[in-house]
Every structure is written in structure tokens, then in C-alpha cells.
Amino acid sequence: MTGFDVVIPSARSASLGRLLRSLAEGHGPLPERLIVVGDRPDVPGLELPGVEVVRGEARGPAAARNAGWRAASAEWVAFLDDDVVVPSGWRAALARDLAELPARVAGSQGRIVVPLQPGRRPTDWERNVRGLEDARWATADMAYRRSALEAVGGFDERFRRAYREDAEIGLRLTDAGYEIRRGSRHVLHPAGRARPSASLRLQAGNADDALMRALHGRDWRERAGAPRGRLPVHLLTTSAGLGGLFAAALGRRRLAAAAGAAWLAGVSELAWARIAPGPRDAREIATMAWTSALMPPVAILQRLRGELRTRRLRRSGADPERPAAVLFDRDGTLVEDVPYNGDPAAVRPVAGAREALDRLRSEGVRLAVVSNQSGVGRGLVSPGQVDAVNERVDELLGPLGPWLVCPHAPDERCDCRKPAPGLVLRAARELGVRPDECVVVGDIGSDIEAARAAGARAILVPTPRTRPGEVRDAPVVARDLGQAVELALTGRAS
């Protein structure tokens, strides 16, 4: 039977309690671990039996999910939103969905069912929530393989709201060659109540769309199955309104009247598109009228905010033009160099390694390790010992993505032993990025030469065993691992 952990990011104790009760009352195999990530340090009501609590830092659901799966240990991590309810057979259905999935399948998505009140048409808010039923890769009920999350670096924590962070990781996983399949299970997602201004607050998603386009190109919507939205129409409506005001200020009455009529037509069309399928009671009609007048400029302002934020990120280096992946040498770079080490107990991270790696993870940069281990070819250590040491490095420094190891002795003339480019090229392929989008960080000249041969950038972090000529010939030299990460992200030393 395939084991799984359950991770629930939560900022609300009331709906969380309902979900936990529905999980406990069901049948089927229990999760190996049930982890709740409090998305605020002060979320109350989390001291519950059988629940492990990870305290979050209010940095949004992407960061909370990362904290959850990194604390998990099972092969599969099932994510649930705290406002869903699982039916009694959910655990058994999840186990069936995960059973014997091939390694290329990174995720299993459950169906989302939004129950609506019978006897009346759904409100605008309820129709919005019901859109989750057709959403691709929605994380309200999604199980991901831990190794796949490690390979792509987890969720991109620049997405600070519950919007697009699930589509973004789905694109990275599928671009890396993984599959995400739909399972047979389902959860219930009650629509709940919303404030009249809820539709205006939702327009903040336009800022995330700007980041999605910068990260994944113009065709990201088609690849992620996301609807086009109304932004072009909002732009026309907003332009007409502003043009009318400007014309009126200049005394151009006819032009102002024409622009005003165009604005009114745009707002009326939007309002009717939202009113027609709804209950059409007085309260709903009034809400749709005034929010439809404000929605176009709010949407445009949010998109502009997203574009400006993306440009600021680009100037700082923490943007889509930053490296897609950073590949690290192991010995002397991430951990102290112990020649031909086969003992996990001898692993000692270099100073600041965890902090440097966590910064890359928080920026959504993918990680991998490219390491020569000629001790295997020389008969000094076994492959199992190398794997055990690598696992210890992961335990101490957090998941590092794929490990690319050359086990050959120098005289075997392989194409993977650095300074040959084989490990760097394989790492790029496994991460789903181009070699020229990678930065290789190492402590000796062969690391730098492997990067150059593969077309990647290179940063040298010298140690006592680094030869002076290697330091002199390196394109970029950092004093320590923290500065190497700063240089990789921004091109500037801190």
C-alpha cells in the first residue's frame, strides 16, 4: 500500500476543525502524518490530538505548503485546503488513486464539488467558487510525490495569495516531463458567504497573472488551462471612462459624451453578464451594479501593480531573468570536504549553507547537486555509502532536488566527470531548464570548466584546496556560499 501524509495550510480554525472531523470520521488507510501549517504564527485552536503543527510566517499558501511538505516524510503528500470537507470514503479513494502510479506521474488531483443551495440560481460569488470544479491542478485536493516537489524546488513563494501558485507549479512539473493525473476521489468545497466587495478583492489576481506571463511566456494560459479573462475589455472600458473625464475637463462635450456612453456600455455589459445568471434579487443586482463600475479600473491597476513588481524583481535580479536553477558541487561547497567520505556522521555543512539554500527556495529557484565521486570507481566507497551521505546532506540542508553523481575513476574517460559537462547537462534536463539558465557553484576549477562546457554560468567559492590559478581564471568569485547565492540572484555582491 502506498503511504501518504496530509498537509493542510490554515489561517482559519473554524473551517479547519470541520475538515479534521471529516478526515477522522472517514474510512480507509490513515495518513502516516497529519500536518497543519498555521499560516499565521497566532492561528488559534491547532493544539489537536494526532495533528502535527508547523507554525507559518504569514507568507501565503505557497510558503505554507512548502513548510508542510518539507516536514512530511511519506512518498506522497496530499494537500487539502482548510475550507473543504472530505466525504467518508476519501481516504480509501486517495489510496486507490495513488496505488502503483508510475514514477513519471508527479501528482494526483481530486475532483472539487461545490454544493449550491437548491431552489435558486447561484450568486456571482458562488459561481466564482464553482469555477474550482473545472480548475486544472487545483491544490484544494492535490497529492504530489515528494521527490517531484524536491526536483522542482516546491511552490514558488513569490505567489503570496491563493491564486496561480497551483497552476505555476503544475506548469513547472509538466515542463520537467512529469504527468499530473485526475483521480477518482472528490472533496466538497462550500461556497460560504462573501462580502459585497469580494469581486473587487479578487482582481488582485491580475498582478499574479503578470508574474505568470513573465515566468512562463505568453501561452501560459493555454498550457495551464486557465480562461482568458476580461482584462482587454476592462482596459477599453477604463480608457473610455478616463477619456471622457479628460474631454470634459477640456470642454469637449461631444467627445466627453461619446466616451461616457462607451464607458456606460462597457459597465452595463459587465453588470448584465454577472446579473443574468444569478438570483436577480435587489441586493444582488445592486452589488453587481456598483462593483461592475469599479471592477475595470481596479483590474487594470492590479495588472499595472503586477507589471511594476515584475520589473522591480528584474532589476533586483530576483525575477524570471534570474537563474532558473542553481547546481552545487557537494564536497567543499555545501559540506566540509572529507576525502572519499562514506560516513553520514562525518557530514558537516559549511557555514551559512542552510540559509543560502533557503533563500533560493524562497525565490522559487530550482536546485540540484552535481558531484564527482571517484571513490566509487577507485573501490574506496560503495554507491550505497555515497547515497547515505547524500541523504544526510538532504536531512541537514533540506531537499536539494536531483543528485547527479559521477562514480567513475579519472582514467575511465566518461563524459560525466567534471570538468566534462555531462552532470550539468543531465541536471538541466531533469529540472526542465536550459543549461544557459543554470548557475554552477563549486570550489575548484573543474566545477567552473564543467559549467563553461555546458553553457552555464559559474561561481567559484574558494577553499584552502583551491589553486591560485583557479581563482584567477574564474569568471566570478564569492567569499562564501551566501555571497555566491547573492551573486547568482542579483549579479551583485552583498
Mean pLDDT computed over every residue of the chain? 90
Whether 5 is a known active-site residue: answer no
CB 362: neighbour CB atoms within 10 A? 18
pLDDT given at position 306: 92
Residue 15 binned pLDDT confidence (cut-offs 50, 70, 90): confident
**236: in domain:** no
More confident: 176 or 400: 400
H/E stretch holding 146: helix 146-152
Residue 293 CA to residue 301 CA, distance in Å, equals 14
**Count of structural domains, the chain:** 2
Cell output for 387 = 547515497
pTM tops 0.75, yes or no: no
Identify the domain boundary among 194, 220, 240.
194
CA geometry: angle at 355 spanning 352 and 358, to 5°?
A: 145
**260: in domain:** no
The candidate with the shortest Cα–Cα distance to 328, out of 200, 148, 240, 460, is 460
Write out the residue range of the structural domain in which residue 387 sits.
325-490
pLDDT in tens, 459-480: 999 999 999 999 998 999 999 9
**302: in domain:** no
Residue 341 CA to residue 373 CA, distance in Å, equals 9
Cell output for 279 = 438570483
Query: By three-state DSSP, how is residue 221 classified?
Result: helix
| DSSP3 helix / strand / coil % (the chain, rounded to 5) | 50, 15, 35
The candidate with the shortest Cα–Cα distance to 7, out of 57, 59, 74, 89, is 74
**CATH number for 180:** 3.90.550.10
Identify the domain boundary among 194, 216, 240.
194
Q: Do residues 23 and 51 lie in contact, with contact meaning Cβ atoms separated by under 8 Å? A: no
The candidate with the shortest Cα–Cα distance to 185, out of 121, 96, 264, 64, is 96
pLDDT in tens, 78-106: 999 999 999 999 999 999 999 989 989 99
Whether 329 is a known active-site residue: answer yes
Question: For residue 5, what is the DSSP state?
Answer: E
Residue 154 binned pLDDT confidence (cut-offs 50, 70, 90): confident
pLDDT in tens, 28-72: 999 999 999 876 555 554 556 678 888 766 678 888 898 889 889
Judged against a pLDDT cut of 50, whether residue 320 lies above it is answered with no
Cell output for 415 = 563524459
Residue 143 CA to residue 11 CA, distance in Å, equals 21
Cell output for 381 = 566507497
Which of these is catalytic: 97, 156, 208, 329? 329
Instruction: Name the residue with cell 558541487.
Output: 329
**241: in domain:** no
**CATH number for 430:** 3.40.50.1000
Which of these is catalytic: 39, 124, 209, 331? 331
Query: By three-state DSSP, how is residue 415 classified?
Result: coil
